[in-house]
Amino acid sequence: MTRDDGVFARFRRFRQTRPFWGGLFVIVAGVIIGYIPLGPISLIIHAGRGAIYGYAIAVVLIAMGLLIWFMPSQRRLAAIVAVVASLLSFPLTNLGGFIAGMMWGIVGGAMAFGWIPDKPSRKMRKAQDGRSDQPTVSVTKPASA
């Protein structure tokens, strides 16, 4: 098995057919925002709203990043939710993961929203459809009187 037939080729196809980098940035934002308030549950309860909101926003961002990856048709809604959640992380948590998590989420959401799928090349479409290069001509019979 060569390198092009295996895991690398499948990953390359996966990455090229969806907004991969936008989803990755959103997931990283969720990890950053969720990692900061990480601690024992007694400390989280003592920390109050900031820690709980941090976890909630982190879960939303990671879910939106996975949705961007695995359902590219829903990327726009997921990107909008990711940007809004990232912006909400600034006042609700510890300055949005010390601003880094918020910025990763905004940039990733913008990348996912702006992604446009590639159109398959003409040669590839013909190969998939099984059509030839010859144009089709339709002949109609004249109406008899």
117, 13 contact by CB (below 8 A): no
pTM metric for this prediction = 0.74
pLDDT of residue 127: 62
CA dist list (Å): 15 to 30, 61, 127: 20, 19, 22
| Residues 86-105 pLDDT 10s | 999 999 887 877 889 999 99
133, 65 contact by CB (below 8 A): no
User: What is the mean predicted confidence (pLDDT) over 20-28?
Assistant: 96
94, 54 contact by CB (below 8 A): yes
pLDDT of residue 3: 54
Q: How many CB atoms lie within 10 A of CB 112?
A: 30
| Residues 113-143 pLDDT 10s | 999 888 766 666 666 666 555 555 566 667 7
Question: Residue 49: which pLDDT band, with cuts at 50, 70 and 90?
Answer: confident
| Sign of the dihedral through C-alpha 126, 130, 136, 142 | negative
